[in-house]
A = this chain, B = another copy of it.
Amino acid sequence: MEIVTTVKEVRDRVKAWKKEGKQVGLVPTMGYLHEGHKSLIDKAVAENDAVVVSVFVNPMQFGPTEDLASYPRDLEADAKLCEAAGASLIFHPEPEEMYKDGFCSFVDMNGLTNALCGLSRPVHFRGVCTVVNKLFNIVQPDKAYFGEKDAQQLAVIKRMVTDLNMDIEIVGCPIIREADGLAKSSRNTYLSPESRKQAVILSKAIFLGKKMVEDGERDAAKIKKAMTDLINTMPLATIDYVEIVDGMTMQSIDTLKGDILCAIAVNIGGEARLIDNFHYTV
């Protein structure tokens, strides 16, 4: 498995694969790979002849007060995980390779991004759309793999691909959890031992909400109240949002109907802003 840093190298490798008739998968990541990423890479390796994993902490998707500088990085460990999983190539560009002199274009959307994480992270999805659009154009994969933990991101990327007629299949992969239920995230590493303990409240709230929906509750307010009350039992937890939205449009709903997304964002101990969610079709 090779690690390359330039767009040209990726293009050359992918063009050679395509000449051989190989199907190409892409797993875009910000690195510091965990079992969640591994599940994406495993699926990509199973479904394609060659797999590119991009490892790029994208400055454009971080707000000015966010954790760009402190975001964890460990390329050596990432490379080991990718190689063991059977990936063909890591694309690990410097920011200067992705955003050259005079760069001023962006991809964004009018819907979907003005809810949930888009409210507390106003520049986030513009950065995500732009970098993912670039990665899609660089790699030109047949399929690209994203985790369902970032539910809004997945919806936004599916929307972008549909709207801009990108000829790529987007594959969503289930959330991978720690033994106690906490969704795997590179940001879990920010948590002190006490915060780590209390962070389990996110998945507990998600499981509670899901149980209520499965038991027939259709009143969004009741479900959100129960989840909110549960999260607030943890003194270190500060809720960003507890929301139930339409799974396609991300717009808030009062009565559960069709494909719904229940999503939460909670700051734990001022150390990490964590997210979790479940989808359900009524």
Number of A positions contacting B (CB below 8 A): 31
**Interface flag for A65 (CB, 8 Å):** no
B166 contacts A137, CB within 8 Å?
yes
**Interface flag for A134 (CB, 8 Å):** yes
B104 contacts A112, CB within 8 Å?
yes
A102 contacts B133, CB within 8 Å?
no
Could you say which of B7, B104, B167, B248 contacts A111, with CB atoms under 8 Å apart? B104
Identify the stretch in A46-54, A155-163, A195-203, A213-221 within 8 Å (CB) of chain B at 4 or more residues.
A155-163
Q: List residues 108-146 of chain A with CB under 8 A from any CB of chain B.
A: 108-112, 129-130, 133-134, 137-138, 140
Scan A164-175; emit 1 where CB is below 8 A from any B CB, else 0: 111100000000
**Interface flag for A105 (CB, 8 Å):** yes
Closest residue to A98 on the B side, CB-wise? B165
Closest residue to A112 on the B side, CB-wise? B104
A112 to chain B, nearest CB (A): 7
Report A's interface with B, CB cutoff 8 A. Answer: 7, 11, 100, 102-112, 129-130, 133-134, 137-138, 140, 159-160, 162-167, 248-249
- Known pairs A106-B108, A106-B109, A134-B164. 13 more at Cβ < 8 A? A11-B167, A102-B111, A104-B109, A104-B163, A105-B109, A105-B159, A130-B164, A133-B164, A134-B165, A137-B165, A137-B166, A137-B167, A138-B165
